[in-house]
Amino acid sequence: MARVSLKKLTKSYGDVVVLDELTLEMADREFLTLLGPSGCGKTTTLNIIAGLDSATSGHVFFDSDDVTEVPPERRDVAMVFQTYALYPHMRVVDNIAFGLRMRKTPRDEIERRVREAAKAMEISHLLMRKPRELSGGQRQRVALARAIVRDPRLFLLDEPLSNLDAKLRVSMRTELKRLHAELDKTFVYVTHDQAESLIMSDRIAVLNEGKLQQLGTPEDIYNQPANAFVAGFVGSPPMNFFDGGLEGEERERCRMVGRGFTCELRPLTSKTSAEVRLGVRPEDIELSPDGEPMAQATVVVREPLGSDLYLTLELNGATFKARTRPSADFDRGDLVPFRFDPEKVHLFESASGKSLLKNIPVIA
Amino acid sequence: MIAAFKNKHAPGPDLSPPQSRKDKGDRLFALLINFPTVGLILALVAYPVLVSLWISLHRYNLRRPDVFDFVGLGNYVQILSGAQFWHSLGVTLYFTGLSVFLVIIIAMGIALLFNEKFHGRGVARSLLLIPWAVPGVVNGLMWVGLLSEHGAFNQLLGYGFDLFNRLTGADVDYLGMASPVIALNVTVAAYVWRSVPFACIIFLAALQAIPAEQYRAARVDGANAWNRFRSITLPWLLHPVMVVAIFETMNAFRAFDLIFTLTGGGPGDATNLLAWQTYKEAFARLNFGGANAYSYLITLITMGLAILYIRALYRRGAVQG
Amino acid sequence: MKSTIIKRIILYVLVLVALLYIVTPFAWIVTVSIMHEREANVGHWIPREPTGENYAMYLAPESGGAEVGLATARKFPRAIANSFIIATMVMVINLLFGSMAAYSLARIRFRGSLALMLFYLGSRSVPGVAIVIPMYLVIRNYGLLDTHLAVILAHSTFTLPFTIWILKGYFQTVPLDLERAARTDGCGRLGALFRIFLPVAAPGMIGVGIFSFIASWTEFLFALLFTSTIYSKPVTVLVSDFTQELQMPFTMIAAGGVLVVLLPIVLAFILQRFIIHGIGGAVTG
């Protein structure tokens, strides 16, 4: 049982605030990802959960126990590091057995569990080697074996796939997901790779500058971003943004006026007279629409990607990307009519980044 | 580039106040395990330094141990107004300057050589450590022998002497230590010989840290060997050169062992380095007051030099906390 | 390619020159040490009648022929023993206390760490000559003159700062994640230090240990002033006594010198890789 909850965690080094009153409740046995750019505080959070770093203020709870002052060796967590951190002077088998030996597990049980873990991670043939003789992927599996052999109540993973080559990374993602399902334990995963987080997580906590931006399922994060940061961070190619103003008296019937186009909007959650930002994902832009187009834009770049075709379009100095079928017959220099579906656009207040639109239903 | 990577793993000193009980506990732990070393240095370095200052302000000669008059800066004035000190200082500056220069040049050359791949490189590097393992006193005796009438040095120069004699009509038989100029320069040579390995090790280690890609990139860009040396190797070596310069300057300034067995300060005054003069004051003339004043003067000078060097290092931004 | 071959030849020639510079003075001493006095006086390079009699003088004094310098030669084994005791203890002190201090400076952020580092390095900026006289008085007041302890302590004061500085740099190259992994695996702070950190840092420690051993073995000034009888006199001081023995044949002096240098050289040979690795890592890191 491990429901991790963070209550108002703050971490500062002198004047520099790395974590700002972070409050987060995780569900038991879920795969939760801490997602954010470098320096957002996600690794610091993970270290605090592990007990390797201490918070300036705030508390960490495992279920109902306050573990804030408990040293790492007594928290019963296992951690997989970005650099794997295998003990270089020990063989693989000793690396894996180390944690069990520290807990004075009986010899035969250690042997059994190590063998099982090695089999699960398919490294049984590497047990007698030293870490320096292994490839990156193999070291990673050893690090994972070392973690799972201890059967802890909580798994912490700090960007474990970052140092692998692209192909290995993709296959390891699936493996980690499978591992999570089999072990049925809580996984707290840190990454800056938003695609990874969407694929693997039950829920994602998006962090920026030490503050929680949004906590939700991958679908929530992707389709209903709470602010402009989350909207722009998640999704590849990233969401297109247009600056402009609002027009209209009532909340229910507003229009966004951009440079060279106007877009109808769904009912707003709150009205503002300030500058706004319209966000549209590349796949939500209709080219050569059936209905009335909003404007026409010039094709600047064509990016064929096999199953999709991405066009970079230009309108009045602003560029944006649209996704379309590979068979679409648009060339560089062509003028293309386009339209944004009001049901699928996002609107944010420029100053605060806050989302101004009600949640849209997920398209089935 | 490497430094940036290392800083990712190594915490620097964090000067903010302790954040929690855990941090305070850490601080106590750290101070505790430094305690023995600090204690030792306080007792045997800091305390004697203060005692030394105190004594240097008094007239104190071991021949008359009950006399201990306070004379303020009297000792210092006496030393600084006598010719003895300035002569020693001059000799020491020459010795130090020449030695440091030669050590850096020779050690750099050897390091560059031994950085290349060749058969028996490991053996060569092991042999490199021989001069370093020779104690100063043995070094002195060795060079006395080398320069004796039938020593190796004069044997080697044998033919040179004949040539020289024929050219100038002189009657030189061998280069002995009787000549002040030769004595001083031989002292430099002996000192340099012993100091080269240490500097060489530092340079070698620095050279090995240069990532090979930089050279490859430079070759692709069209740089020849000299350019590569100038724009990649030299800047990289700047920090180690400064480190070696500081070390060797401070060491050369204190040279003593070598003088003891090689020249005893002579002939006459030629190799009377400051450290030797201090020793003579203290243990030949038993003038402890004056000797301590000498010590302090030396300390001031070496500290001044050290500060100059460190400031130069800081300006280059190369000193790690 | 001709230019490459020429380059290789030049390289080997230069290496040879460098090696000659490094080795010749000492090599000559070695050859002289196995010559008879009469040969050395003539200036031979290679002994035509090599002899071990010079060494015999030190190792089995009664058997040797020459009476000159006999007294000094007899003290030799004892002096070597003294040097060995002192150097070993200095090495132990450096490894124990030096590594502890270096670890705290490398791994723990605490207020005062910078001041400590400056304190250590600053203590080294006081030249030996300045320190030795008052230190002499302090040692004398404690009745520690002519003991091993006095020399050990004195040597420790000037080797420790360097050891700490080198080890601090070296320790910082050990990845932090290793100790973190050990702690989540169940070690306490001390456990992580002994089981994980020290084994990984071993090469640097060895290099520093050797360095402090050799530094102590070859030290002269403090040893000279703090010891008077053969009870505690290390071999560097004994060798300097040779300068007083004007009648001592140079061949014998040479043999003595070789013996004194032998031990550190053998050690340095065997462990040169560790020395370069350990010291170099700290300077560039």
d(CA A209, CA A36): 9
**Which residues does chain A have within 8 Å of residue C185's beta carbon, measured at their own beta carbons?**
73, 98-99, 102, 146, 150
> Is residue B314 less than 8 Å (CB to CB) from chain C?
no
Answer yes or no: do C180 and A73 touch at CB < 8 A.
Answer: no
First to last CA, chain C: 39
pLDDT tens digits, B170-183? 555 556 667 778 78
C77 plus C63 within the same structural domain: no
Taking only the tens place, the pLDDT of each residue in C236-260 is 888 887 766 666 777 777 888 888 8
Beta bridge partners of B70: B58
Residue A307 shares a structural domain with residue A273: yes
Which of A17-21, A238-242, A324-328, B168-172 shows the lowest per-residue confidence on average (mean pLDDT)? B168-172
C109 and C31 in a common domain: no
Q: Which of A77, A82, A88 sits opposite C184 (nearest CB)?
A: A77
d(CA A224, CA A230): 9
Residues A132-155, mean pLDDT to the nearest whole number: 91
CATH for the stretch B91-137+177-315: 1.10.3720.10
B207-223 pLDDT, tens digit per residue, is 888 888 888 888 888 77
More confident site: B81 or C130: B81
Q: Do C173 and C36 belong to one domain?
A: no
Rounded to a whole number of angstroms, the distance between the first and last alpha carbons of chain B is 17
Angle between helices B83-115 and C2-33 in degrees, nearest 10: 130
Domain boundaries, position A248? 230-349
A360, part of any domain? no
User: Min CA distance, A26 vs chain C (Å)?
Assistant: 21
pLDDT at position B113: 87
Among chain A residues, CA nearest to C191: A102
pLDDT beyond 90 at A191: yes
**Is C68:C227 a contact under the CB 8 Å cutoff?**
no
Q: Phi-psi region for residue C26, left (φ > 0), alpha (ψ -120 to 50) or beta?
A: alpha
pLDDT at B3 over 70: no
Distance from CA of B23 to the nearest CA of A (A): 8
Contacts of C281 in chain B (CB under 8 A): 205
Tokens 């770049």 label which residue? A301
Shared domain check, A289 and A187: no
Percent of chain C whose pLDDT exceeds 90:
12
Q: Are residues A84 and A201 in the same domain?
A: yes
Residues of B with CB under 8 A from a CB of A: 14-16, 19-23
Q: Where residue C279 falls among pLDDT bands split at 50, 70, 90?
A: low
Q: Which domain, by its residues, includes C119?
A: 73-284
Q: Of A207, A229, A251, which residue constitutes the final position of a domain?
A: A229
Q: Which of B34, B41, B321 sits opposite C157 (nearest CB)?
A: B41
How much of chain A exceeds pLDDT 70, in percent?
98
Q: Which amino acid is at C137?
A: L
Do C184 and A89 lie within an 8 Å CB cutoff? no
Q: Which chain B positions have a beta carbon within 8 Å of A55's beta carbon?
A: 20
On whether both A61 and A203 belong to a single domain, the answer is yes
- CATH number for position C196: 1.10.3720.10
Contact B38 C116 (CB under 8 A): yes
A13-30: average pLDDT: 89
pLDDT band for position B191 (cuts 50, 70, 90): very high
- Range of A114-123, B254-263, C73-82, C109-118 with top mean pLDDT: A114-123
**Cβ contact, residue pair A13, B21, below 8 Å:** no
Contact list in C for residue A50 (CB cut-off 8 A) is 180, 184
A114: left (phi over 0), alpha (psi -120 to 50) or beta: alpha
What residues of C are in contact with residue B300 (Cβ under 8 Å)? Answer: none
Q: Which of A229, A246, A269 marks a domain boundary?
A: A229
Mean pLDDT value of segment A138-144: 93
Question: The CATH number of the domain where A184 resides is what?
Answer: 3.40.50.300
Model pTM? 0.74
State whether C126 and B278 contact (CB < 8 Å).
no
All partners of chain A with 3 or more CB pairs under 8 angstroms: B, C
CB contact under 8 A, C104 and B125: no
On whether both C260 and C134 belong to a single domain, the answer is yes
Q: Which two tokens stand for residue A29?
A: 């046995």
Q: What is the 3 state secondary structure string of B107-153?
A: HHHHHHHHHCCCCCHHHHHHHHCHHHHCCHHHHHHHHHHHCCCCCHH
- Domain count for chain C, please give it: 2
Contacts of A102 in chain C (CB under 8 A): 185-187, 191
Look at residue C285 and tell me whether its pLDDT is greater than 50.
no
B22 contacts in A (CB within 8 Å)? 54, 69
- Give contacts of C107 with chain B, Cβ < 8 Å: 11
Of A229, A244, A276, at which residue does a domain stop? A229
- C177/A81 CB distance under 8 A: yes
Whether A143 is covered by a domain: the verdict is: yes
Domain regions of chain B by residue span: 91-137+177-315
Partner C contacted by A72 (CB < 8 A): yes
The whole-number pLDDT of residue A360 equals 54
- Number of independent structural domains in chain A: 2
Chains A–C, number of C-beta pairs less than 8 Å apart: 61
Q: Find the residue in C nearest to B35 (Cα).
A: C101
- Chains near B with 3+ CB pairs less than 8 A apart are A, C
Give the Cβ contact number of residue C90 at 10 Å.
Answer: 27
